[in-house]
Amino acid sequence: MKKEISFIWKNTYQEAFEEIKQYHTHPPVLAALVPRKPFLIYVRVMDHSLGALLPQNNDQGHEQAIYCLSRTMIGEEHRYNPVEKECLALAFAVQKMRHYLVGQTIHVISKVNPLSYVETIIVKRSIGEMGSIALAIRDAIPATESYQRTSSGRHFG
């Protein structure tokens, strides 16, 4: 700051400061998993990145995060259609979190329905990148487990 220039602390600055202060004094906490309790997997795709969150409901019925991860898309992944990007995010999540998911009930929550797309690819016996992604998802989430397929709050069959 220079001496000849006055600084005015506006309300928007104060609000931003309070928000940052609140975040730093109450950081998000990851919880320990509870065996034999169903898991949720939220997958989300942005323009250049993808991510996933693995929560469980606690005894009060509130979701608590257990594991979260993200990564940027590389190369041709940017050219995937939105459903393929959701499948990529789900494959990334189940590969990284496989040790949590083995033998568990899993509810996948996504903007689209990547599981039906994966089933379609496997039935068509597609090869290439999406075929390998579909097989990775199928191998990590066996057909014997139950799914909640959700898109914008709607449940699929």
Domain boundaries, position 57: 39-156
Buried b (16+ CB within 10 A) or exposed e, 36-68: eeebbbbbbbeeeebbbbbbbeeeeeeebebbe
The pLDDT assigned to 87 comes to 84
Q: Around 63, how many Cα atoms within 13 Å sit in the side-chain half-sphere?
A: 11
At residue 134 the predicted structure's pLDDT band, cuts being 50, 70 and 90, is: low
Q: What is the domain-level CATH number for residue 98?
A: 3.10.20.370
Q: What are 32-50's pLDDT values in tens digits?
A: 988 888 888 899 999 899 9
Q: Which two tokens stand for residue 113?
A: 């329905």
The pLDDT assigned to 155 comes to 33
Distance between CA atoms of 49 and 72, rounded to whole angstroms?
A: 4
Domain contains 1: no
Domain count, the chain: 1
Domain contains 16: no
